[in-house]
Amino acid sequence: MATQSNLRANFYKSDNGVDLVELKLIGDPNTVIYRVKDKEEQLKEQFPKEYAEYFKVKPAKKTPKATPLNVLKDLGKRKEDVLKVAGYDWQVLIKEEEHTLLAQEDQGAMTSIATDFLRFSNDTMWNRTTNRKFYGPLNNTEWQTLKGIVVNGVTNYFRIRGNKLLLNPTPTAGQKLFFEYIQKNWVDTTGDGSANATSYAADSNTTILDEDLITLGVIWRFLKQKGLPYDNQLQEYQIKLSEKQAKDGAKQIIRLTGRNRAFLPVNEPEGNYTL
């Protein structure tokens, strides 16, 4: 073929539906007609504009480059808190721990008693051997007052200091202590439906938390980070968060007259009392 500057191409369809191209040199009344499929690659290279216009070829779409979550400033150091929707004790994060008591005040580090410990669920600590409750956690003033004026009381107290569990009075070795706590793990890396990690390690990882809620949280923070409008997305997230919290786990009935008196804190056997 002649150079493109001197050559013109006219694409058209024949009466029987075949794509044809008519090539003509400027100033030359003669023309040459080819079937497009016979010289398609050459035609696309020499007449890209005419070819694209005739076949309505759309420019190749650019695949948007994904933004890793770990490069977003709002999901950097606070990434775990962001995705966990921190500030609420989701029932799926609550666990129960059994601890065999030592005959000493210091029961050891909380992370050795419960390896995934994050914080206590209040009013859940009991000595099930003696059926006695532990009250706490005490603050520094209360603990030092207890240590200063009580030699060996009958009421059980506990405190967390230096990430260690302290008990007063000193318990009897071998007794069983139970309590509920909020675990720090929320990511499932094994696929068994239980949480065993505090962050995502692979695309196959899932979470035991509500993934729709996490997605909404990431969306509005992403838009905010990029300087884009995010008010609607934030509102949608906040509404969904409130709905999920309201429906999370079983909820107590709120009574204006106080708690239902039919519920007794002590459960007594029907008979066989020792006289």
Q: Are residues 123 and 42 in the same domain?
A: no
Assess if residue 268 is contained within a domain: no
Assess if residue 253 is contained within a domain: no
Is residue 33 within 8 Å of residue 20, measured between CB atoms? yes
Q: Are residues 104 and 50 in the same domain?
A: no
Assess if residue 135 is contained within a domain: yes
Q: Are residues 108 and 74 in the same domain?
A: no
Is residue 89 within 8 Å of residue 121, measured between CB atoms? yes
Q: Are residues 102 and 152 in the same domain?
A: yes
pLDDT tens sequence for the chain (275 residues): 444 567 888 888 888 888 988 888 877 777 888 888 888 888 888 888 888 888 876 555 666 555 555 555 545 444 554 545 556 889 999 999 999 999 999 999 999 999 999 999 999 999 999 999 999 999 999 999 998 887 777 899 999 999 999 999 999 999 999 999 999 998 899 989 899 998 888 888 888 888 888 888 888 888 988 889 999 999 999 899 889 888 888 777 777 776 665 555 555 666 676 76
Tell me the C-alpha distance between 234 and 223, whole Å. 10
Q: Are residues 113 and 172 in the same domain?
A: yes
Q: Are residues 68 and 112 in the same domain?
A: no
**pTM, to two decimals:** 0.64
pLDDT, one tens digit per residue, over 99-155 is 999 999 999 999 999 999 999 999 999 999 999 999 999 999 999 999 888 777 789
Q: How many domains does one find in the chain?
A: 3
pLDDT given at position 129? 96
pLDDT given at position 179? 97
Assess if residue 109 is contained within a domain: yes
**Residue whose tokens read 């007063």:** 168
Q: Are residues 46 and 16 in the same domain?
A: yes
Contacts 24+ apart (CB under 8 A), 122-129: 124/178, 124/179, 124/180, 124/181, 125/158, 125/177, 125/178, 125/179, 126/177, 126/178, 126/179, 127/101, 127/156, 127/171, 127/175, 127/176, 127/177, 128/176, 128/177, 128/178, 129/172, 129/174, 129/175, 129/176
Q: Are residues 84 and 98 in the same domain?
A: no
Assess if residue 232 is contained within a domain: yes
Q: Are residues 116 and 163 in the same domain?
A: yes
Q: Are residues 97 and 180 in the same domain?
A: yes
For the chain, what is the largest distance between any 2 Cα atoms, rounded to a whole number of angstroms? 127
To which H or E segment does residue 209 belong? Answer: none
Q: Are residues 100 and 181 in the same domain?
A: yes
Q: Are residues 104 and 181 in the same domain?
A: yes
Q: Which structural domain range is residue 69 located in?
A: 64-90+209-248
